[in-house]
Structures are given as C-alpha cells and as structure tokens.
Structure 1
Amino acid sequence: MNLNLYIANKIRKGEITGKKLSGPIITVATIGIVLGITVMILSLSIGTGFKREIRNKIIGFGAHIQIVNYDYNSSYETNPIERDSAFVNQVLKIPGVKNVQEFATKPGLLKTKENIQGVIIKGIGKDFNWDYFDQIIVEGQKPDVTQEKTSNDIIISRTLARLLKLKIGDKVPTYFFQDRIRPRNFRISAIYDSSLPEFDKVFLFVDIRHIIKLNKWNDNQVTGYEVTLNEFDDIPELSSQIDLLAASKISPDGGLLRTTTIIQQQPQIFGWLNLLDTNVAVILILIVLVAGFNMISGLLIIILERTAMIGILKALGKQNHNIRKVFIYLATFIIAKGVLIGNFIGISICLLQKYFGIISLDPENYYLNTVPIHLNLLHILYLNMGTIVVSYLMMIAPSYLATKITPVEAIRFD
C-alpha cells in the first residue's frame, strides 16, 4: 500500500483527528480551480468564436483570395482580365481550394426622392457561392443569374433599405459615372443583413452582365476571380501557390495577373481581430496565476494545520521526500477534481449558448446577434494540460515547507 497516498486521501476526506480547517480550505481551493477552468474555457471559446464569426462575415463579401489584373489599381473601378476556364480548373485542382467564382465591381450612386448614397455594385455570376448569403438574406429571394436573359434584380442591405426607405419590389434608381452619366433601374429582390455597417452601407449585388456592359467590356472580360478555401489558416501557403500559377499566365493582350488576400484587403479589421488573441492570452495567464496562488495559500494553511502530524511522521522515521509526497498527492486531488468539474460546467455553458443562443448581443455594437461560441477540443486539451502543469509546478515550492518542520518544533507548536 502507498502510505503517502493513503495519508493524503485521509486528509482530503477529513478523517484525521485534530483541527478541522482542511475541509473548508480544500473546498475553497477546489472552487478556485473550478471557477478558473470555467472562465478560461468560456474566454477561449467566446474569443475564438467571435474572431471566426467576424472573419467569416468579411470573407463572405470577398473570399479568401482574389485574382485580378496586375495593375495595382486599388479602386473599385477596375481594369479587366480575360476569362480563362483552363486557368480556373488549374486553381480548383489545388488541394484546399473550395470554390472559384468570377466577379466584377463598379462604383455607383443610389438616389431616391429624399436621399442619395454612394455604393459599390458587385457583379456575380452563375458560379457564385451562395452559402454565406443564404444565412444573411432576411427578406425576399436571391436573384437568378443563371438564365440566358440578364437579371434586373438587385440585393440590397437592410441598412441601405432603411436609409433610402426602400422595400422588396421597389425600383432602385442607380447612376454610374463614366464619359457620361449612365442610369439603371434595378428591382430589389432580396435584403440582407450582415451586421457589419462598413460593408452593409456600401455593397449591393447584381448580375455580373450589367457591370460588364456598363464598363463596355466584351463578354469574355471580368474584374477577376475570387478563390474560397477550406481553411482560413491555409491562406499564406495557398496564396503563394496560386500567385505562382497566376504569374505564369499572360493574356492575349499582354496583361498579367496578381493575387491579393482578404487580409491584405482589410488589414485594419484583421489587425483588430488579432488583438483579441492577445486579450484572451492575458486573461488565461491571469486566471492561471490566481488559481495557482489560491492553491499555494490553501496548501500552506493545510501544512501549518498538520504540523503535529508532520512531526510525528518524522519522529517515526518518515523521510522528507515522502512527507512532501503526501501534500503533492493532496494538491493533485484538488487540481484533478477542480479541472473535471470546471470542464463539465464550462463546456455545458458553451453548448447551451451555442445551440440555444441564451445570451444575446446588440449587433450595432458587437456585429453579432448572440454571444458566439467555438469549441475546439484541441484548445481545451491544451488549456487543461497547461493548467495542470502550472498548478502542479506551483505546488512544489510550498511542499518544501513541510520538510523544514522538526519533531521538537511540532510538539511545541501543538
């Protein structure tokens, strides 16, 4: 029988005679670990969830990677590239690429009797991926851009609809400026709401053939291609591969291609999102330290309470390292129990929020309707391992206090 483990278990259960502070101290220490683990799981899940949700919203408007004309024109009044189905097929064959779609953009002006608003009209074709817009369209039906006849329908945001006092079925007088003013009347077929004011106030979506005609391009020209990937983290690697492929292509008119990532297009937003990682890391470190010091103070009190027991064990010939093991085992019991209960509570709260959306948010301030949750089992595993290791290491130093107590001092203390 492991005598050290047996004694530690007796202290944990309060079955050793003497002062009775061990029970409350162990309970407080366990609660500290439980709260720490619960808050860390919530912080990590909410931080990761918020970052993913905002990131997915931005990607929904511009994909992960864009392939455009090699002219470094950063405006929405773009120079075209030639359609190339062979090139598209080559990009689609790259592992990790989910979808490739053509697009075209053009600045315009919406004007009603009472208001006027500058916008960006984005043209979409039959290869457009509707997955994201199926989630954010709140009224109406998406336009059918697959027909032979050019669709006159337009998708407008709820923000613009309210600003311009428009609704489903209304005509939208739109003006484009080139050598002369060119008006168009689109019909609102759908209204979307992404809860991102920077995008909702600007972007409208129409049949790409309207943009091609307005720009006086031929039917084989578009602004470029948008490439959607399976994983956001693959952007650096896959953008390099696609860039090399694009660099090898020369259009009949001598034009070249280049790639740009969504991170390069929206550096401010992604810089802000990266700050969330720093905030979460600081929170996790602080909570681990607080839980660790809570454990240290609890273990010190238990050692002082069991001074007489330590003296008796030493008088009976118990070695210092064995006495230290008693309190290390005791700390292990507390940490293990706290981690298990904390995981159960933290993960349960996350699942409730994820599937039932109990806690809501103001989308005007937070860009989301509910608190976002993303549970990553690998992150939780690392979190638990880190907490256990740090807490265990912090217990080693206090355990040495027990080795400094002599039998004579123990008798006097008692």
Structure 2
Amino acid sequence: MLRRLYFELFVALRYLRGAQGREEGRRFLRFITYIAIGGVTVGVAALLLALSIVHGFSREIEAKITGFGAHIQVENLRDAPLSDAAWMETALQHMPGVVSVRPVIQEFVLIRRGRREVDGVALWGSPTLPEYLQQHLVAGTARFTPDSLGRPGLIIGRQLAEQLGLKVGDLVTLFSMRRLPSSVRPRVRVRQFYVAGLYETLLADFDQLYVFTSLDAARALLEYGPDEVTRFDLTLQNVQDALHIARQIEDHFGLPVIARTIYEVFRNLFAWVRLQESIIPLVISIIIIVAAFNMLATLLMVILEKAREIGILASMGASRRRLQRMYLILGLLTGLVGTALGELLALSLALLQQKFGIIPLPAEAYYMRTAPIALQTVDFILVAVVTVGLCGLASLIPARIAARMNPIQVIRFH
C-alpha cells in the first residue's frame, strides 16, 4: 500500500514544501499555501485554548462552590434544625461513597462594627474552617480560638471587611433575631467576636455574605440545642455519584430529611458555566470551518497553477485515481501540518497562561483574576481528528477536478 502511495505522497510533499506558480507569480502560490496552513493553525489553537479555558473555568467554579458547600447538603425540609445530630452524623459517615461529614449551624444575623457600619450576613458555624477557605486565607489565622476575654474568633471575607472597615484583631458585634419554637416573638441575642482572619475566593456573593466561627459559638448565639444542627455537608469520593447518594440518604432517613447535591443548591451558577461550555467552543469551531474552505480555495489555485504539470503526469501514465489521491493527500498534509502547529501553539500559550496569567479577567464578572486553564488530552485528540477530517473533505472537490482534467487540452492551452 505504501509503495502505491509513494508517488502521490512524493508529489504532494513537493507541492507542500515548495509550491511555485508560473514565472509571473512564482511566490504567490507558496504564499497562499502558507495562508492555508496558517488558517488551520489559528483555528486549531483558538479552539483548543477556548476548550481549555472553559474546562478550567468550570473546574475552578466547581472547586470554589464545593469549597463552601461540599458535594451534598443534608437538611430539614421544614427549614428547622436537625435533631439527633450525633446519631445522624454517625449514620452518614457509614454511607457508601462518603469521605467526610461536617455539621453546620447557619443562620442570618446582623454584624455591626460601629453605629453606621452594619450589614446582614450568614453566620456559619462549623468545627473547623473548610479546607478550601484555609487555602484562600489572606490574613490572620484559620482558627476560632477565643481571645483572653473569651470572645470567639470570626473569619470573614476580605470584601466584607473592606466594606465595614475591619482588619484582623478588630471587635465586631453579632445580633441574632432567630425565633425559637417555644417563643411567640423573636428575641434579640447579642455576642461580641474578634476578627481572627480574612479569606478571599473572588466569589463576591459568597465573600460578602458568609462569616465563619466555631460550632459552639454559633450554637450559643443562635440558641441551638446541644444535639441540633442546621445541616450536614458531605464530601464524596466521586462527585459524579452525588445524585445517587443523595437519593439513598433520603430513602434511608425519610422526610423531613432532604439531601441536595451542590449542583441543585447552586443551580444558576452551574447553568451559567454549562452555557459557556456549550456555546464558546461552537463559536470558535467556525474558525476551523473557515480554514477548511480557505484550504479548498488554495487547492483549486494549485490546480489552476499546476494544470500543465497535471496534464504531463496524465500523459505519462498517471491514472485519474492517482491524481485524485495526490491532491487528497496534499489536503490531508496541509491539515496535518496546520493541526500540529496549532496544537503546539495552543499548548505553549496554555502553559504560559498557567505560569504567568497573561490573560486577565474582571474578577467581579468571572470570579477570578486570570483565565484558568485545564488541559485535557481528549480535547487535543478530538480536535486533531475533526480538523484533519474536515481538511480531507475539503480536498475532495479539488481532487475530483484534477482527476477529470483532459491531459491533451491542458498541455495544448497551457
């Protein structure tokens, strides 16, 4: 098979490396050949970078959200505390696929720094600060250790701290107006905290809303019972099993206990990410389609410029099938070279972005300061196969035209 294709491959390589037109425009044909290869290169590089950024964006958003809310949240359908928390925690830890269980007490409170610096926040009590937030601590400590006067530590978002004019070590007052089941009216409860640390995830809706303290401090302020929690946050071995495990939990405990996956809790954010994942690659793919049509035009130009050579080859015994294969191979080689250069360019730019962050993003819109990159081997393979396939399809028309040329008329009129 290789021997049969040797002639076609040899001629195609000669055209690809040193294609020249007639004497009055020798360099033009070489130029448009480079343009065709460049078009494929740019299209492949743009598509791979778009895919890498979208995958990276999806991964980063998921990591930020699960950093706050784990993979599954188990809570009460009636918007009331879960009782028998110790028993439920033990039972959840023995569920298949569950790595860790974190009890959480969460209620809305008021935070006050002075007479005018007042804001509404969600107080989040847990045994320790979630690990993701520990990694994004920008000041202070991740511990809730009380100070010398017994005031518990509070960890807040940097944006909230800037709004209230707070820094590490400052004192704040929290007001809770949670109505207890035994009381008719809500009773105001007040407690003083000190700012132990500041975190920043660039998720503005989260950084400005959630403040963290110890489980005991939250229980005391909100007057939860000793065996009550708002919910349990579960981390799983595989997030893909979240929906299945959530349904198992609901079947095991029954109502009013419900289990929601992180994708259900933050449905809007994930819908926005999926929208970008579906639209951006589709739009960028048009570049490759345009490059394939550009290559079709280039091959037609090569046929017009090389019509005399085609006639000579046909008169020397080259069959129509051989001529067709020759231009088909030329199109495939153009696609292969452009794809290889495009993937190399995309990989180089992606590595530069990972190391230096050369593509900035507005944090208030995208929740991160630079475009994230997630390289996936399957993207490179799939883009290469599709691109070379499109180039091969685009080569069929010029190849058929070259095969149908009459050698006698071509030689006579060229």
TM-score, normalisation: structure 1? 0.89
1:123 aligns with 2:130: no
Q: Distance in 2 between matches of 1:191 and 1:258?
A: 32
1:227 pairs, out of 218, 231, 234, with: 234
TM-superposed CA distance for 1:369, in Å, is 1.7
Q: How does 1:299-378 map to 2 (within 5 A)?
A: 299-378=299-378
Deviant stretches of 4+, over 4 Å: 15-19
Q: Is the 8 A contact 1:69 1:224 kept in 2?
A: yes
Q: How does 1:10-409 map to 2 (within 5 A)?
A: 10-14=14-18, 18=22, 20=26, 21-71=28-78, 73=79, 78-83=80-85, 84=87, 85-91=89-95, 93-94=96-97, 97-111=98-112, 112-126=114-128, 129-130=130-131, 132-144=132-144, 152-177=152-177, 178=179, 179-232=186-239, 234=240, 237-249=241-253, 256-409=256-409
Q: Distance in 2 between matches of 1:238 and 1:41?
A: 30
Q: Distance in 2 between matches of 1:309 and 1:337?
A: 24
Deviates more, 1:179-188 or 1:53-62: 53-62
Q: Is the 8 A contact 1:151 1:207 kept in 2?
A: no
SS in 2 for 1:166: coil
Q: Is the 8 A contact 2:68 2:130 kept in 1?
A: no
TM-superposed CA distance for 1:102, in Å, is 1.3
Q: Is the 8 A contact 1:125 1:145 kept in 2?
A: no
Q: Is the 8 A contact 1:169 1:187 kept in 2?
A: yes
CA 1:33–1:230: 2 relative to 1, 3 Å? farther
Q: Distance in 1 between matches of 2:280 and 2:216?
A: 46
Per-residue deviation, residues 200-246 of structure 1 (Å, max 9, x unmatched): 221111111223234433322211211123454x0xx3322342234
Q: Distance in 2 between matches of 1:15 and 1:308?
A: 14
Which amino acid in the other structure matches residue 47 of structure 2? M
Match for residue 11 of structure 2?
7
Return 5+ residue gaps in structure 2 as ranges.
180-185
TM-superposed CA distance for 1:66, in Å, is 0.5
TM-superposed CA distance for 1:29, in Å, is 1.1
Q: Distance in 1 between matches of 2:316 and 2:198?
A: 82
CA 1:33–1:204: 2 relative to 1, 3 Å? same
Match for residue 182 of structure 2?
none
Instruction: Please tell me the root mean square deviation across aligned C-alpha atoms, in Å.
Output: 2.4
TM-score, normalisation: structure 2? 0.89
Q: Is the 8 A contact 1:99 1:229 kept in 2?
A: yes
Return 5+ residue gaps in structure 1 as ranges.
none
Per-residue deviation, residues 56-81 of structure 1 (Å, max 9, x unmatched): 2122111121111243x3xxxx4223
Deviates more, 1:292-301 or 1:50-59: 50-59
Identity of aligned residues (%): 28
Per-residue deviation, residues 327-376 of structure 1 (Å, max 9, x unmatched): 11111221111111111111011011112223333322332122211111
Q: Is the 8 A contact 1:307 1:413 kept in 2?
A: no
Q: Is the 8 A contact 1:68 1:81 kept in 2?
A: no
Q: Is the 8 A contact 2:246 2:260 kept in 1?
A: no
Which amino acid in the other structure matches residue 193 of structure 1? E
TM-superposed CA distance for 1:174, in Å, is 0.8
Q: Distance in 2 between matches of 1:338 and 1:275?
A: 29
Q: Is the 8 A contact 2:191 2:221 kept in 1?
A: no
For these two proteins, the number of residue pairs brought into alignment is: 396
CA 1:286–1:230: 2 relative to 1, 3 Å? farther
Q: Is the 8 A contact 2:74 2:231 kept in 1?
A: yes
Q: Is the 8 A contact 1:12 1:22 kept in 2?
A: no
Q: Is the 8 A contact 1:143 1:151 kept in 2?
A: no
CA 1:406–1:330: 2 relative to 1, 3 Å? same
